[in-house]
Chain A
Amino acid sequence: MTYRPVVISAVFLFLFAVIGSGLVAFTHDNTAEQIAENQRRALLRSLNELIPKDQYDNDVYADILYVHDSELLGTDDAVPVYRARKGGWPVAVVLAPVAPDGYNGNIRLLVAIRLDGTLAGVRVLAHRETPGLGDNIEADRSDWIRGFTGKSLNNPKQDHWKVKRDGGAFDQFTGATITPRAVVKAVKNTLLYYRANGDKLFEQHPQENKQS
Chain B
Amino acid sequence: MTAYKDIVRDGLWSNNVGLVQLLGLCPLLAVTGTFINGLGLGLATLVTLVTSNVIVSLIRKLVRPEVRIPVFVLVIASVVTIIELSMSAYLYELYKVLGIFIPLIVTNCSIIGRAEAFASKHDIGRAFTDGLSMGMGFLLVLTTLGGLREIVGKGTLFSQAHLMFGEAARAWTITFVDDYSGFLLAVLPPGAFMGLGLLIALKNVIDGRKEKRAALVSAAKIESPA
**Which A residues are closer than 8 A to B by beta carbons?**
5, 8-10, 12-13, 16-17, 20-21, 23-24, 27-28, 30-31, 34-35, 38, 42, 126-128, 130-133, 135, 140-141, 174-175
For window 145-197 of B, CB contacts with A under 8 Å fall at 160, 162-163, 184, 187-188
Select A140's contact among B67, B70, B163, B184, beta carbons within 8 Å.
B163
Q: How far is the CB of A144 from chain B (nearest CB, A)?
A: 15
Closest 7 CB pairs of A and B: A132-B33, A31-B89, A20-B78, A34-B89, A38-B92, A9-B67, A20-B74
Contact A35–B85 (Cβ < 8 Å):
yes
Q: Inside 8 A of A21's CB, which chain B residues have their CB?
A: 78
Q: Taking CB as reference atom, which chain A residue is nearest B83?
A: A27
The complex places the Cα of A127 from the Cα of B99 at a distance, in Å, of 10
Q: Is the interface of B mostly helix, strand, loop or mixed?
A: helix
Instruction: Tell me which residues from 184 to 215 in chain B have a Cβ below 8 Å from any Cβ of chain A.
Output: 184, 187-188
Q: B81 contacts which of A10, A24, A132 (Cβ < 8 Å)?
A: A24
Count, A-B residue pairs, CB within 8 A:
78
* A-B contact sample (5 more), CB < 8 A, given A12-B62, A23-B78, A35-B89: A20-B77, A24-B78, A38-B88, A128-B100, A135-B100
B90 to chain A, nearest CB (A): 7
A34 and chain B: residue at smallest CB distance? B89
- Known A27-B82, A35-B85, A38-B89: A131·B74 in contact at CB below 8 Å: no
Q: Which residues of B lie under 8 Å from residue A5 when comparing CB positions? A: 64, 66
Q: How far is the CB of B216 from chain A (nearest CB, A)?
A: 45
Does B63 sit within 8 A of A, measured CB to CB?
Answer: yes
Considering the chains assembled together, what is the distance between the CA atoms of A77 and B101 in angstroms? 26
Residue pair B96, A42 in contact (C-beta under 8 Å): yes
Closest B residue to A17 using CB positions: B74
Nearest CB of A to B61, in Å? 12
Contacts A35-B89, A174-B184 given; does A131 touch B71 at CB 8 Å: no
Query: In the docked arrangement, what's the CA distance between A4 and B162, Å?
Result: 57
| A173: min CB distance to chain B, Å | 10
CB proximity of B224 to chain A, nearest CB, Å: 37
Which residues of B come within 8 Å of A, CB atoms? Answer: 30-31, 33-34, 37, 62-64, 66-67, 70-71, 74-75, 77-78, 81-82, 85-86, 88-90, 92, 96, 99-101, 160, 162-163, 184, 187-188
Pick from A8, A13, A135, A174 the residue with the most CB of B within 10 Å. A13
Please give, as numbers and ranges, the residues of chain B lying within 8 Å of A130 by CB-CB distance. 30
Given contacts A23-B82, A24-B82, A140-B160, contact A131 B64 (CB under 8 A): no
10 contacts between A and B (CB under 8 A): A8-B64, A13-B67, A13-B71, A27-B86, A28-B85, A42-B96, A131-B31, A131-B37, A132-B37, A140-B163
Q: Which of A9, A24, A127 contacts B64 (CB 8 A)?
A: A9
Per the bound structure, the CA–CA distance linking A21 and B101 in Å amounts to 22
Complex: how many Å from CA A172 to CA B75?
Answer: 41
In the complex, what distance in Å separates the CA atom of A12 from the CA atom of B68? 10
- B85:A141 contact, CB within 8 angstroms: no
Bound CA span A128–B33, Å: 16
Contact present for A131 and B33 (CB under 8 Å): yes
For the complex, give the distance between the alpha carbons of A20 and B70 in Å: 12
Instruction: Pick the residue among A9, A31, A126, A135 that contacts B86 (CB under 8 A).
Output: A31
A133 partner residues in chain B, CB cutoff 8 A = 187-188
Could you say which of B37, B85, B188 contacts A31, with CB atoms under 8 Å apart?
B85
Task: Tell me the minimal C-beta distance from A171 to chain B in angstroms.
Answer: 15
Rounded to whole Å, the gap between the CB of B179 and the closest CB of chain A is 16
Structural contact, A132 and B64, CB atoms closer than 8 A:
no
Residues of chain A with a CB closer than 8 A to B62's CB: 12
